[in-house]
């Protein structure tokens, strides 16, 4: 069994992290005070986020985001999140950024917020070596019309830093086909595509997402385990799942880690990666996720190196930057890459 400090030091690539969802509660409390935002009801007695079940999680999440007002708030948040990730061995992270929370989908407000986030990412890279890329993300329950505005924000800012387009939010609202316009626009802008699917909804949602939105990655996708045909499609096409075991357990999809399908998905030939989703909400970290997988499924160096390689291949990043990360992985696991 690998020790926790060894697991913490393993180089990791995280493909599924919501920037606002990674905000430490103390940071949000301080910004709420500074920005005169009332967040009563959001915190429990220990000062942690208070929520119960998925819809309560989503509404607390929205409330938390109201504390973040200015580009400076997003700058400081980004720096704090990246420094924390780096302390868990993360060398590359893709963060979901939602223009909805950065000026409501207005392009010029989005550009101001994005510039601040990009500047913080540069600082973090200089300080800790961590590389960040941004996935502009529409929020499903805000509807297809708003998603178009978000896709335009993505299109207009696609480049070195913004390399992907995604969709999060409540899977029970709308259908994947309602978002075809937005995903087509993002694809035309050269962005990598991912969408949350098969977290709450059944495997048909994964099928529809692949067909209608033509994504190369699926956020969660764990319910693929319930449908052998979907499993086969994922294995054959090499679509990558961004799996967040701690998130799924905290939200009640599975009672405990031994019940989680991540190892079975991997054994079925599906490309799986590991991420934290919204770590302070779910009481997790990348080290914690690795430690759980090591304990529960006996994963060690080989499995984690394999996962890192899958994530590197699936990353929304250009060839030169991918090669730099590849070198960092090779330095850490010389026999495996």
Query: What is the x/- site pattern for Zn ion, positions 256-285, by CB under 5 A?
Result: ---------------------x--------
Pick from 236, 206, 208, 242: which is nearest to 223 by CA? Answer: 206
171 binds Zn ion (CB under 5 A): no
- Distance, in Å, from the CA atom of 191 to the CA atom of 160, rounded to the nearest integer, reads 11
94 binds ligand ADE (CB under 6 A): no
Nearer to Zn ion, 200 or 328 (CB): 200
Q: Supply angle C-alpha 282, 247, 80, rounded to 5.
A: 50
14 binds ligand ADE (CB under 6 A): no
Q: Active-site residue among 14, 20, 94, 199?
A: 199
Q: How far is the CB of 70 from ligand ADE (least distance, A)?
A: 22
Nearer to ligand ADE, 73 or 277 (CB): 277
Nearer to ligand ADE, 48 or 128 (CB): 48
Q: How far is the CB of 276 from ligand ADE (least distance, A)?
A: 10
Q: How far is the CB of 59 from ligand ADE (least distance, A)?
A: 12
223 binds ligand ADE (CB under 6 A): no
Question: Quick one: which of 31, 196, 271, 309 contacts ligand ADE (CB under 6 A)?
Answer: 196
Nearer to Zn ion, 94 or 277 (CB): 277
Q: Could you say which of ligand ADE, Zn ion, none residue 21 binds, taking C-beta under 5 to 8 angstroms by partner kind?
A: ligand ADE
168 binds ligand ADE (CB under 6 A): yes
Question: Which residue's CB comes closest to ligand ADE?
Answer: 168
Nearer to ligand ADE, 118 or 278 (CB): 278
Annotated active-site residue 171? The verdict is no
> Interface residues with ligand ADE (CB under 6 A)?
18, 21, 61, 168-169, 196, 199, 247, 277-278
> Interface residues with Zn ion (CB under 5 A)?
277
């Amino acid at each position: 069994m690998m020790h926790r400090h060894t697991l913490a030091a393993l180089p990791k690539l995280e493909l599924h992290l919501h920037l606002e969802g990674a905000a430490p509660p103390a940071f949000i409390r301080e910004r709420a005070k500074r920005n005169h935002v009332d967040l009563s009801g959001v915190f429990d007695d220990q000062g942690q986020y208070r929520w119960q079940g998925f819809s309560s999680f989503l509404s607390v999440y929205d409330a938390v985001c109201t504390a973040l007002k200015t580009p400076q708030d997003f700058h400081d948040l980004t720096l704090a999140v990246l420094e924390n990730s780096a302390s868990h061995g993360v060398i590359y992270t893709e963060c979901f950024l939602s223009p909805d929370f950065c000026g409501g989908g207005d392009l010029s407000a989005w550009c101001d917020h994005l510039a601040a986030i990009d500047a913080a990412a540069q600082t973090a890279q200089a300080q800790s070596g961590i590389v960040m890329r941004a996935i502009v993300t529409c929020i499903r329950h805000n509807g297809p019309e708003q998603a178009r505005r978000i896709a335009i924000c993505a299109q207009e800012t696609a480049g070195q830093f913004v390399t992907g387009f995604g969709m999060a939010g409540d899977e029970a609202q709308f259908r994947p086909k309602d978002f075809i316009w937005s995903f087509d626009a993002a694809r035309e802008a050269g962005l990598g595509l991912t969408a949350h699917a098969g977290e709450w909804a059944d495997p048909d949602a994964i099928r529809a997402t692949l067909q209608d939105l033509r994504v190369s990655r699926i956020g969660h996708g764990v319910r693929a385990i319930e449908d052998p045909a979907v499993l086969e499609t994922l294995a054959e096409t090499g679509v990558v799942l961004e799996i967040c075991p701690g998130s799924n357990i905290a939200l009640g999809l599975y009672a405990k880690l031994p019940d989680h399908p991540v190892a079975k998905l991997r054994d079925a030939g599906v490309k799986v990666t590991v991420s934290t989703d919204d770590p302070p909400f779910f009481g997790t970290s990348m080290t914690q996720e690795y430690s759980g997988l090591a304990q529960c499924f006996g994963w060690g160096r080989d499995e984690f190196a394999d996962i890192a390689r899958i994530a590197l291949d699936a990353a929304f990043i250009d060839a030169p930057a991918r090669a730099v990360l590849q070198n960092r992985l090779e330095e850490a696991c010389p026999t495996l890459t």
